[in-house]
Structure 1
Amino acid sequence: MSVTADPTDPPVGTRPVLGGKLWVAMYHSVGDCSDDPYRITVSPDRLARQLGWLRRRGLRGVSVADLLAAHARGQGRNLVGLTFDDGYADFLDRALPLLRDHGCGATVFVLPGLLDGQNDWDPLGPRKRLLGKRDILQAAAVEGIEIGSHGLTHVDLTKADDETLRAEVAGSRTLLSDLIGAPVQGFCYPYGTIDQRVVDTVRDAGYAYACAIDPAPLNGPYALPRVHVGEQDTGVRLFLKYRLHRMRRRPVEGA
């Protein structure tokens, strides 16, 4: 696939260099943006432009597990983590072909308590189908996409009682590990909300890492910050988001 320059790009001489700080992009749904009150949807055309922006700067999108492994080896300078929250079914037919075309990997955080369900936690906006068992198996076994847990049913874990918290965190890992036939390494906090109790529960459940949004003052592999990427993010906006992220974030300790 040829890569056409985007007129909104900053000069190539200002390309980002990841260095010792991790940069992880947060996506959700890929599709029609006409009814999108939470700004969680990016169109296929915009996603293609964003992946092209990375590629033209010598950057490649990978799963969070691959990003952390490279970081631990002192490598990963030109890698960017790509994550897709909620496990929308449109990942398979709209996001995955574009990732494949650009040589990218990704992590999809799914909800094993809502397989083949829909996003009922959103009071506004359209209902969207979620990935089912066969979809997840295809993404993991056939396409090599990392599957992570987003909990069972998309609840704010900081407001959950201890029993519900354990079920959402440890229970979802067990279900997904059994489904894909391999240990699930990654967790993603619904709504991005965390506290020390939730982080400790995720660590104790056996996950290797967990993604948040803006977890400060918490830090480390169980409180990884991410940058929201949406339909309005042109090359210039991506570059500015990257620079702001670099200025605000400390290196991830213990990752």
Structure 2
Amino acid sequence: MAASVDSVSTGRPGRPSAPLPGPVPWIAMYHSVGDCSDDPYRITVTPERLGRQLAWLRRRGLRGVSVADLLAARARGDGRDLVALTFDDGYVDFLTGALPLLRRWNCGATLFVLPGRLGGDNAWDPLGPRKPLLNAAGIRQAIEHGVEIGSHGLTHVDLTKTDDATLKAEVAESRALLKELTGGPVEGFCYPYGTVDQRAVQAVREAGYRYACAIDPGPLTGLLALPRVHIGQNDTAWRMFLKLRLHRLRRRPAKGDAA
């Protein structure tokens, strides 16, 4: 079982940092919102499915917010009714498929983007259709609607398999580019593929991020390696309920979820 966020030091080695109060936060992981008929990675949900999932959250008295807002609420001792909604990669369909539904259900979100691939596509995926990524104007449009922007690295590479120079560029240079693009702070990082090790965590810490999201980081769980729950097209209300319960009990995504 992964260690609790409550008990894991997230400061520099040997120097404990303030723990998050209460149970581990519930952070939902989305990717693309659009046509899912050709989706070998199971990372796409249709707008219709996303709308039903957001409606389910609201019926249970929960509201989707950005990771930064969730962590700020938890630091105040609040936020038990909040769920963080994250969208990886920065697909163009975030603006057309996700944003209108977030606004309809009064939800916030965090969008993790790749400043080294602005206006490009998901070239890192060998299978499936090419999906266009947001350009700088699209990212600024998301910001105008209250969406938090975080880094997903420069180009979407597995940080646990890179050399030191590439690791620094993917983590630190991506933050610098996004701060210049957005004109504001960039507090969050998301590990590509969800893979993380101590070396990657240290690079994220040194780059100055406040938090980072993974998938199932095990003993590294903490503010710089937050676990998330994959949400897909097959996640009906019943599956959402089970994933919420399993995440709180096991502090890891439901068994069999895709990265």
Give the structure-1-normalised TM-score: 0.90
- Does residue 70 in structure 1 map to residue 65 in structure 2? no
Q: Whole-Å Cα distance in 1 between the matches of residues 81 and 22 of structure 2?
A: 8
Say which of 34, 42, 65 aligns to 1:39.
Answer: 42
Q: Whole-Å Cα distance in 2 between the matches of residues 205 and 147 of structure 1?
A: 16
Say which of 115, 118, 121 aligns to 2:118.
Answer: 115
Say which of 206, 209, 212 aligns to 1:210.
Answer: 212
Q: Whole-Å Cα distance in 2 between the matches of residues 249 and 188 of structure 1?
A: 18
CA contact (8 A) 2:23 2:248 kept: no
Q: Whole-Å Cα distance in 1 between the matches of residues 179 and 105 of structure 2?
A: 28
- Does residue 170 in structure 1 map to residue 182 in structure 2? no
Match of 1:100 in 2: 103
Match of 1:201 in 2: 203
Q: Whole-Å Cα distance in 1 between the matches of residues 37 and 140 of structure 2?
A: 30
Match of 1:144 in 2: 146
**Gapped regions of structure 1 (runs ≥ 5):** 1-17, 251-255
- Does residue 240 in structure 1 map to residue 242 in structure 2? yes
Say which of 129, 133, 136 aligns to 1:130.
Answer: 133
Deviation of residue 183 (structure 1)? 1.7
Give the structure-2-normalised TM-score: 0.88
RMSD of the TM alignment (CA)? 1.1
Match of 1:156 in 2: 158
Q: Whole-Å Cα distance in 1 between the matches of residues 251 and 122 of structure 2?
A: 31
Match of 1:55 in 2: 58
Letter in 1 for 2:204: V
**Gapped regions of structure 2 (runs ≥ 5):** 1-20, 253-259
Residues 123-170 of structure 1, C-alpha deviation per residue, up to 9 Å, x if partnerless?
000000001000001111x10100000000000000010000000000
Deviation of residue 21 (structure 1)? 2.4
Letter in 2 for 1:131: L
Letter in 2 for 1:52: A
Letter in 2 for 1:121: W
Deviation of residue 20 (structure 1)? 2.7
CA contact (8 A) 2:30 2:86 kept: yes
Q: Whole-Å Cα distance in 2 between the matches of residues 202 and 192 of structure 1?
A: 14
Letter in 2 for 1:61: G
